[in-house]
């Protein structure tokens, strides 16, 4: 039956390719449908790889069974082999009477309306409500774990979103000694694992293994060249380090701008404890060639620091890859903080309704037209749409003054809705490009000016004033009195 298995694998591969082509041609309506499609395609690609490996092993025919089956069919009586295979099939179904037949044509086709789809349920269960199907990060649990670390300052969730991928002072107040604890090691490991998991769930079609290998290679190079910030080998420094910014205390890892404050802190218990701990670490590293135990302890500590530094490096790289999601998360948290409880509940209900629509919606043309009619949004006031495609609340519309129009002639008579967008546009590329087209180079002096004529008048006045100051500076006659003081001629005569 090896030839039958070979034929089955070829058919399976062709139907998998057709299933992928059908799904690539689709245009997902929202992010949930896109994730559902991408995860389906990723599953098909994985099955193609497995089936291709099986097919390759059949063609390789290391045991020679395929060649023997071909010889048995070609040299002997074909009817004997035919009836032999029929007897094997009948015997199999006699032993397993309820064995379902695998229908490849139906296996890779899209589910009809009303049929249960396990992949859709898996995609829904992949994300928490805060993640909103991969739109945002959910770091609430890790934020609470961060607040319980030794030596950290209390940060709000918004502040934590800005600083969770920064591991050097002043954003990260955790000292190098405290980073060597098991609590911090576990926290950084869980943070890196979450970001990796989020990347795998939201980008199933990307070659993430190659990205992770590049991370490992980059870390090995940085560790070998000692370029990792905060993890260079400690060098014994005698006394404080004075710079233009102040006095740096290497024991406490703190900068003092006042000399008296630094001298007073030298007698504190905290400084003495830190100096003693740092001296012990340096002695263990310096005397390692004499004391084998000290050398072993120093090596173990360095290995642990390497593991922690590797996780911090991975978190930084993953955060850079997810930079857009990170910024969207911050905007979403700020937006939710300005919402009432009722609005949050309405948004949650809309998300659940969207999930139900995706699971139950049909893909026929008639059903699409019905769903489009059901999804028409009533928006008589022409309010701006939020991230979910629905109008924002009217009180928020009035609060930000989005109904007030601010035209700008310099920007090509573009109309900005709301004072906030109008104030922001003076530093944007459109307005700056319009001023440069008028020959104006110093754009910082033209804030709140939107008319071309006003801008040209102000620029001419600025140019005239500059020329006048230049002429006056060149025509000033300097006089010197009996004491050697130099002053203009007008003041000298007065």
| 490: its two tokens | 């007008």
**Predicted pLDDT of residue 192:** 92
**Predicted pLDDT of residue 117:** 67
Distance CA 48, CA 54 (A): 10
Distances (CA, A) of 111 to 114, 115, 117, 371, 492: 8, 6, 7, 17, 98
Residues in the chain predicted with pLDDT less than 70, given as ranges, are 112-117, 233-246, 248, 250-251, 253, 255, 277-298, 351-376, 473-476, 494
**Predicted pLDDT of residue 364:** 45
**Predicted pLDDT of residue 290:** 40
Distance CA 149, CA 167 (A): 13
Q: Are 131 and 137 in contact (CB under 8 A)?
A: yes
**Predicted pLDDT of residue 128:** 84
- The upper half-sphere exposure of residue 303, i.e. CA atoms within 13 Å in the direction of its Cβ, equals 6
**Predicted pLDDT of residue 250:** 67
| Residues in CB range of 426: below 8 A, 6 or more apart | 446, 447, 448
**Predicted pLDDT of residue 487:** 79
pTM for the structure as a whole = 0.60
Eight-class DSSP state of 385: B
| Residues in CB range of 68: below 8 A, 6 or more apart | none
pLDDT in tens, 328-377: 888 888 888 877 878 777 777 776 666 665 555 544 444 444 444 445 67
| 459: its two tokens | 């620029």
Mapped to the 3 state alphabet, what secondary structure does 180-239 carry? CCHHHHHHHHHHHHHHHHHHHHHCCCCCHHHHHHHHHHHHHHHHHCCCCCCCCCCCCCCC
**Predicted pLDDT of residue 190:** 93
Side by side, the strands of the sheet bearing 241-242 are 241-242, 247-249, 254-256
**Predicted pLDDT of residue 113:** 62
Distance CA 464, CA 472 (A): 12
Q: Are 455 and 438 in contact (CB under 8 A)?
A: yes
């Amino acid at each position: 039956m090896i030839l039958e298995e070979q034929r089955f694998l070829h058919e399976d591969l062709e139907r998998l390719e057709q299933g992928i082509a059908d799904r690539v041609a689709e245009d997902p309506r929202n992010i949930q449908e896109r994730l559902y499609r991408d995860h389906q395609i990723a599953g098909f690609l994985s099955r193609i790889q497995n089936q291709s490996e099986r097919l390759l092993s059949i063609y390789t025919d290391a045991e020679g069974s395929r060649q023997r089956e071909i010889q048995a069919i070609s040299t002997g009586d074909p009817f004997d082999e035919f009836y032999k295979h029929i007897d094997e099939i009948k015997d199999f179904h006699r032993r397993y009477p309820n064995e379902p037949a695998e229908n490849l044509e139906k296996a890779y086709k899209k589910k009809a309306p009303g049929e249960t789809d396990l992949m859709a349920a898996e995609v829904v269960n992949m994300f928490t409500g805060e993640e909103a199907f991969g739109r945002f990060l959910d770091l609430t649990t890790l934020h609470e774990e961060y607040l319980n670390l030794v030596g950290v300052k209390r940060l709000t969730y918004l502040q934590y979103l800005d600083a969770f991928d920064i591991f050097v002072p002043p954003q990260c107040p955790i000292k190098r000694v405290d980073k060597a604890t098991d609590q911090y090691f576990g926290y950084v490991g869980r943070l890196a694992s979450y970001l990796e998991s989020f990347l795998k769930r939201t980008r199933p079609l990307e070659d993430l293994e190659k990205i992770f290998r590049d991370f490992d290679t980059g870390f090995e190079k940085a560790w070998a060249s000692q370029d990792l910030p905060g993890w260079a080998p400690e060098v014994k420094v005698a006394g404080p380090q004075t710079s233009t910014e102040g006095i740096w205390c290497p024991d406490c890892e703190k900068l003092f701008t006042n000399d008296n404050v630094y001298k007073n802190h030298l007698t504190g218990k905290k400084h003495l404890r830190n100096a003693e701990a740092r001296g012990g670490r340096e002695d263990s590293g310096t005397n390692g060639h004499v004391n084998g135990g000290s050398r072993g302890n120093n090596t173990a500590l360095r290995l642990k620091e390497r593991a922690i530094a590797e996780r911090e490096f991975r978190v930084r790289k993953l955060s850079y890859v997810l930079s857009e999601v990170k910024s969207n998360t911050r905007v979403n948290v700020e937006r939710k903080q300005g919402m009432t409880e009722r609005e949050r509940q309405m948004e949650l209900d809309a998300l659940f309704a969207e999930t139900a629509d995706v699971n139950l919606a049909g893909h026929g043309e008639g059903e699409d037209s019905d769903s489009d009619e059901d999804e028409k949004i009533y928006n008589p006031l022409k309010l701006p749409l939020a991230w979910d495609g629905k109008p924002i609340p009217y009180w928020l519309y009035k609060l930000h003054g989005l109904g007030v129009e601010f035209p700008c002639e310099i920007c090509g008579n573009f109309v900005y809705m709301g004072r906030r967008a109008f104030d922001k546009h003076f530093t944007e590329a459109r307005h700056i490009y319009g001023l440069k087209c008028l020959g104006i180079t110093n754009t910082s002096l033209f804030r709140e000016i939107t008319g071309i004529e006003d801008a040209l008048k102000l620029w001419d006045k600025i140019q005239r004033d500059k020329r006048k100051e230049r002429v006056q500076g060149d025509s000033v006659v300097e006089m010197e009195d009996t004491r050697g003081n130099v002053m203009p001629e007008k003041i000298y005569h007065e």
